[in-house]
Structure 1
């Protein structure tokens, strides 16, 4: 039995992202693989300051559908990172208890959340670093930025393998890790093309749909407001589907804007329906060094359903600017192009060159085998 511990930036929930698709594929192909999926910790002090009340992490639970071989764990974060080494020590202690409870002895570590870098530094278990975002380019306070720099330095030097999800990330880190491996995102092509019924909560009339996490690091909120206002004048709606990580102020502004509907997250099984029934799929993203590091899942999901796309010139989309059905434009003409696209009511196209997650699972399993073979099983250090 191979025991893999993955430190994820997102929880294992109904909103699937890169980690879930890869882990799901590997578990279904390898009956000897067992995974402890470590979710982001529940931050007690942050929740107290936010007025939500102090709640512990949900602890260890078995995820159904994998014969008990997928175990999720949400730890509790009792101290802020500013507490220094003690904060990491407490997290490692809770992780050791979870491993004992799940009877897991890791053969390999998969790090997607760089805040676990100190564990890698202290552990003899071989590790893999999966880079999905260039957090060094994100707008963060100086202390947090310095911590990110230090964590990445550890991961780059100590991990047996480094994987980048985008060509931008790969190029920016190849000088540090010449052996970095590019494994982009993909989509479950068959599922996204299976005809689905129009969702009941999708606004009547014309729709421009965005699917993805709403976050100031990516989403151009001003552009969404402008687009919604213009769509409202023609009886159409800008529909936002996905988890909301925006500030309370920006959330309120979107809810108050005519022509904007914020639906919140939907289970991954329901997402194709929203995409298939959109008149236009939109990518109103900020264009900066951080978004240049991304390989958006929506690139593959949008193209799989074959609906028209309007995007700002962000990484992933701008490289395909000549593709049929794709309009790349700057923010000054974005809303105009969206309104035009909604009015056109274009027919669905078939896009042939859309990569499937099955191919990415093969590539990732190969890297994981290499990492696992670099060392023996290990315990989590104190």
Structure 2
């Protein structure tokens, strides 16, 4: 590690939540030798109202300033991160008129920048590194406003046009061109963006190995009851057709689906089958014990322009507890060839599950665990900081 740096992470995710987040993991570990300011997801007035109605999870009291907007958070890695919540911003993404859209974007940016600058001043942070985590729309308008010594775009997914519209891609590409460097989580994503910025680096997702490995399998399940598990977000990426076909064909297997149901069509299609159980999302520290009970873990994503950029966090989590992994071929992840089972269609997907369960053994369990050990977040954080140091040396 090098000299202590001041890092301001402008995030597009929340600090807390149901699932492990790469930004939070990396920032937590970077805080071991640097001063970190994590700027929470930019909640809007709509989020505030929905939370007051009991339909959201926004930090209302901190947003309104009833409680301090700037606090210190203890991470799972025993580090301390400064955590900033913004005042409620104005919803504006729905505007089709570009003038209105840009007007409200700029209004929000004024309050966004003002809040961050106040926190920077209070923390005596000078010449900060501005690390933008998948928040390109605001990245463009905030660029240069924090008096940053370095601007870095941490792009862990491709632009999600389905969620954010065409403007997401425009902002993503525009911002990538302007920053001092871009860090992606997959080789495919880096290759697709290399024409935008010649300072392109890859730091892949990791796993909290020590936590997950405490729940590692020590033997195969010899009972007749076999459990197929999925833990993660239940959203538009989920391949309903493939999973429904598999559930029908493997009626003697139990399917346990755990996660935040963002796409009700998933529940509508699968809940009618007696061998399918839906469970609500759990906290990250509860995930390992759930995985240990599975005989195989699924990552059934649709193959789209968006998902081909993804390096899924859960693949290393499954492997850390020794669980075999069956995936659709949504992304090119050659580093997992021979460790996980990639399938081309619903028939292959179904057969791969049966094969992985029937042919599993202790040797394979240990091999998966050993592979995952090399992908710890500690290792990834060292790689990430090395990239930041290289960018600083070149600036």
Alpha-carbon separation, structure 2, partners of 1:160 and 1:292: 25
Q: CA 1:186/1:53 → structure 2, altered by over 3 Å: closer, same or farther?
A: closer
Equivalent residues in 2 for 1:57-206, closer than 5 Å: 57=60, 58-59=62-63, 60=69, 61-65=71-75, 69-81=81-93, 82=95, 83-97=101-115, 99-100=117-118, 103-104=122-123, 105=125, 107-112=128-133, 113-123=135-145, 124-125=147-148, 126-135=150-159, 138-139=161-162, 144-145=165-166, 147-195=167-215, 205-206=225-226
Aligned to 2:40: 39
Alpha-carbon separation, structure 2, partners of 1:277 and 1:64: 30
TM-superposition CA deviations, 1:23-54 (whole Å, max 9, x none): 121112x0xx2222222222333776997679
Alpha-carbon separation, structure 1, partners of 2:108 and 2:339: 53
Alpha-carbon separation, structure 2, partners of 1:319 and 1:287: 19
Aligned to 2:345: 330
CA RMSD of aligned residues (A): 3.2
Which one of 254, 257, 268 corresponds to residue 237 of structure 1? 254
Q: CA 1:48/1:223 → structure 2, altered by over 3 Å: closer, same or farther?
A: farther
Q: CA 1:9/1:98 → structure 2, altered by over 3 Å: closer, same or farther?
A: closer
Task: Kindly indicate whether the alpha-carbon contact (under 8 Å) linking 2:343 and 2:352 is maintained by their aligned counterparts in 1.
Answer: no
Alpha-carbon separation, structure 2, partners of 1:366 and 1:325: 29
Task: Kindly indicate whether the alpha-carbon contact (under 8 Å) linking 2:315 and 2:325 is maintained by their aligned counterparts in 1.
Answer: no
Equivalent residues in 2 for 1:150-299, closer than 5 Å: 150-195=170-215, 205-216=225-236, 218-231=237-250, 233-234=251-252, 236-246=253-263, 248-299=264-315
Name the SS for the 2:235 alignment partner.
coil
TM-score (norm 1): 0.81
Name the SS for the 2:153 alignment partner.
strand
Aligned to 2:31: 27
Q: CA 1:171/1:49 → structure 2, altered by over 3 Å: closer, same or farther?
A: same
TM-score (norm 2): 0.78
Alpha-carbon separation, structure 2, partners of 1:245 and 1:47: 19
